[in-house]
Amino acid sequence: TRYAAQTLYAPLRTVEPVAGIHALPLRLPARLTALYPAAPLEMTPLAAWALGEYSVVALKVRNPRSQKIVLDPRVLSGQFISATFQHRWLGEAGRPEDTTTLYLVIKGRPESAFPAEPVYRREAH
């Protein structure tokens, strides 16, 4: 997760390559709604990396509500080795602290670890 955070947020000249780590193509939905069922967070994939049989996925997490949310990685749905939020809480929507990053460590391909997204059907008129 350290390499992922550095790659996303540190100046590129300061990020040292790590033997074996390579970027992965993201094969996830543009919005992940089933991952954190305790609150209606907006989650979008940012990037993914792999080393051996493990993958790390970074997700942008945003609070759309007008109240602070304390984040708890134990609430996440999915099959993850570990989960780390960049910050412990999200501020109210519209404030600079309404957004953070979530790093998920996964054994195998990332898309197999996430819960299925709900299917919404349009009503026929």
Tell me whether residue 6 is in a domain.
Answer: yes
pLDDT tens-digit readout, 71-108: 999 999 999 999 999 999 999 999 999 999 999 999 99
pLDDT tens-digit readout, 23-79: 999 999 999 989 999 899 999 999 999 999 999 999 999 999 999 999 999 999 999
Tell me whether residue 125 is in a domain.
Answer: no
Q: Is 108 left (phi over 0), alpha (psi -120 to 50) or beta?
A: left
How many independent structural domains does the chain possess?
1
Tell me whether residue 122 is in a domain.
Answer: no
Q: Which residues form the domain of 96? A: 2-112
pLDDT band at 122 (very low <50, low <70, confident <90, very high): low
Sign of CA dihedral 118, 65, 67, 96: positive
Tell me whether residue 123 is in a domain.
Answer: no
Mean pLDDT of the chain: 92
